[in-house]
Amino acid sequence: MNFDDRLDQAARQLATEIPPERDLWPGIEQAIRTPRRRTPWLAQAAAVVLLVGASSGITYLAVKDDTGPVVAVQPELVFEKAAFGGDYHLGPGFQDARNSLRAQLDAEFASLSPKAQQDIQANLDLIHEAIVEINTALAQDPDNVLLQQQLLRAYREELALLRRVGGLTRNVMTRNDI
């Protein structure tokens, strides 16, 4: 028996049902019995538009001229603890493009100034939080077209940000080369 076969056999013998060391029900019960303070979805969508717009603006200012002043403005929005809605996956093509740009960003990130790095990461985090927020709203209202559009827009914003940063790093490298 070769290693892969032996590994497969062993993997199938690993325990798949494992009791937790403590009873998790009290926390679950508290969460499902407590009426959730719900923000109207329209307000959530509006907040997301503002959030993504602010993120894009800040990032544009951060990357349009790496040597210039950077406006550090953080929208002070508080997000509820939320999980990523599993029903709203990216398509494989979109995901591949995102992964490719993200890999490029990771590879070239070090060529940016520390301040630009910090701002770009902060804005990526903002977009990710917006995606989580929209997914939370979609979990409650899965057929809401406006929310679906906002989710797509947030994904596009992330893609656009990664592209802009990629262009910036290439410019920096070109100037250094010269």
Partner 1 sequence: MEALLTASGSDYSQRMADTKDDPVADEQTLIRRAQRSDARAFEALYRLHVDKVYGLCLRMTGNVSEAEDCAQEAFILAWNKLDKFRGDSAFSTWLHRVAVNAVLGRIRKSKREQDRIQAVADTEPARTTAADTGEMRDLAEAVDRLPEGARHVFVLHAVYGYTHDEAAGMLGIATGTSKAQMHRARRLLAQQLEKQGFES
State the residues that interact with partner 1 by CB under 8 A. Answer: 3-4, 6-8, 10-22, 24-25, 27-29, 31-33, 82-86, 89-90, 92, 95-96, 121, 124-125, 128-129, 131-132, 135, 139-140, 142
Question: In what helix (H) or strand (E) does residue 41 lie, and over which residues does it extend?
Answer: helix 41-64
Considering beta carbons, is residue 31 or 71 the nearer one to partner 1? 31
Q: Which is nearer to partner 1, 68 or 86 (CB)?
A: 86
How many CB atoms neighbour CB 123 within 10 A? 25
Closest CB 81 distance from partner 1, rounded Å: 9
* Straight-line distance from the first to the last Cα atom of the chain, in angstroms, rounded to the nearest whole number: 58
Name the amino acid, one letter, at 175: R
Nearer to partner 1, 65 or 125 (CB): 125
CB of 104 to partner 1, least distance (A): 17
- The residue (of 28 and 173) whose beta carbon lies closer to partner 1 is 28
Query: Nearest approach, Cβ of 142 to partner 1 (angstroms)?
Result: 8
| 88 touches 151 (CB < 8 A) | yes
Q: Residue 116: how many CB atoms within 10 A of its CB?
A: 22
Closest CA to 88 of 43, 133, 35: 133
The long-range contacts involving 39-43, CB below 8 angstroms and separated by at least 24 positions, are 41/137, 41/140, 41/141, 41/144, 41/146, 41/147, 42/146
Nearer to partner 1, 9 or 171 (CB): 9
CB of 118 to partner 1, least distance (A): 12
CB of 124 to partner 1, least distance (A): 7
